[in-house]
Copies of this chain bind each other. A is one copy, B any other.
Amino acid sequence: MTISLRKARTIIRKALEKGRELELKPLSVVVLDAGGHVQAFEREDGAAPGRFAIAQGKAYGAVMLGMAGTAQMARAEAQAYFMAAVNGVYGGQVVPVPGGVLLRDKKGAVIGAVGVTGDTSDNDVLAAVAGIEAAGLQGEI
The residues in A between 31 and 90 inclusive whose CB is less than 8 angstroms from any CB of B are: 33-50, 52-54, 57, 63-67, 76-77, 79-90
Contact of A49 among B5, B34, B45 (CB under 8 A): B34
Instruction: Name the contact of A93 in the complex, choosing from B39, B57, B76, B89 (C-beta under 8 A).
Output: B89
Instruction: Indicate if A11 sits at the interface (CB-CB under 8 A).
Output: no
Q: How large is the interface on A (under 10, 10 to 19, 20 to 34, 35 or more residues)?
A: 35 or more
How many of these chains are in the complex? 4
Cβ contacts under 8 Å, A39 to chain B: 42-43
List the interface of chain A (C-beta within 8 A of B).
Answer: 1-2, 4-6, 8-9, 33-50, 52-54, 57, 63-67, 76-77, 79-97, 109-110
Q: Which residue of B lies closest to A52 (CB)?
A: B38
Complex contact A87–B90 (CB within 8 A)? no
